[in-house]
Amino acid sequence: MRMGVAPALGVAVIGYFAYHLVHGDRGLVAWRDLSERIRETEAVARQVTAERQELERRVALLRPDSLDRDMLDERVREVLNLAHPDDLVILRAPGPATK
């Protein structure tokens, strides 16, 4: 009986640590899930960075020192909802791709 207790206790301890190595808070499963979340977050960060750069480019065209008259005209017409009598207006449904 005594000779079987120590090996059984050793196997139990090894089993405990092996289980937590795989399924614990910092185990292999948690590491895999965290790696996936990092990849998803990096993809979102790249998308947001691209959107920010596009907005910065458009804002730079409206700065007083480098004013682009076409961009100013576009923004005025969009904000005031006006059109020139000679303009051809094409209506489209609002969506994420329209700016």
Alpha helices in the chain (DSSP H): 2-23, 28-60, 69-80
Mean pLDDT per 10-residue interval, the chain, length 99 residues: 85 93 90 96 97 91 78 82 80 69
- Are the CB atoms for 32 and 26 separated by under 8 Å? no
Q: Is residue 73 part of a domain?
A: yes
Q: Is residue 23 part of a domain?
A: yes
Total domains, the chain? 1
Q: Is residue 61 part of a domain?
A: yes
Q: What per-residue confidence (pLDDT) applies to 1?
A: 67
Q: Is residue 88 part of a domain?
A: no
Distances (CA, A) of 21 to 1, 8, 87: 30, 20, 68
Q: What per-residue confidence (pLDDT) applies to 97?
A: 58
Q: What is the rounded distance in angstroms from the CA atom of residue 67 to the CA atom of residue 59?
A: 10
Q: Is residue 1 part of a domain?
A: no
Which residues constitute the domain of residue 74?
9-80
Q: Is residue 25 part of a domain?
A: yes
Q: Is residue 92 part of a domain?
A: no
Q: Is residue 4 part of a domain?
A: no
